Amino acid sequence: MWFGRVIEHAQRWPCVAQTATAMNEGRPTPARLLGLQFILLVLISGGFFIDSWVSAYSAFVGGLIFYVPHGYFTLKFFRERDGGNSERVLQVMWMAEVNKLVLTGALFAAVFVTLEPLNATALLLTFAVMVLSNWLAPLLLR
């Protein structure tokens, strides 16, 4: 596969591995990041409780739609990444990402079909904030 060639090319340059190791120093651990994201989810849901109970549980469900697939990806990827076989690690990462996207879509479909009443604005806004928190976490948690 094409990523096998990428791995072979990267292995010829030892500075690539050294740079990747240096970049990972000082980053938050996956467990800490997931814990902080769950705290953020609870705080956002609590904020929506001011509006109504429906908004609060809609926000919580929206956060869970992000949190559950992201947690799956994290467990799957970080369980396999220490294997040493870089091609296998890359393959696991791609499969975990695909499964994460499928699970996210399935959860959105299930929620919109089964959950009544629902505040779609609270659900989607919380989902967006959780995605944004995942993008910004490495910058904010140094």
Burial class of 59 by CB neighbour count within 10 A (0 to 12, 13 to 18, 19+): buried
Confidence of residue 22 (pLDDT cuts 50, 70, 90): very low
Domain coordinates of the chain in residue numbers?
2-140
How many C-beta atoms surround the C-beta of residue 65 within 10 A?
Answer: 23
- The closest alpha carbon to 93, from 82, 104, 109, belongs to 82
Alpha helices in the chain (DSSP H): 2-11, 14-24, 30-49, 53-80, 86-114, 120-140
For the ranges 30-44, 76-90, 102-116, the lowest mean pLDDT is seen at 76-90
pLDDT value for 23: 46
What would the two tokens of residue 24 be?
A: 């990972």
pTM score above 0.85: no
Q: Looking up tokens 């993008």, which residue turns up?
A: 135
For the chain, give the mean pLDDT: 82
pLDDT tens-digit map of 59-88: 999 999 999 999 999 888 887 766 667 788
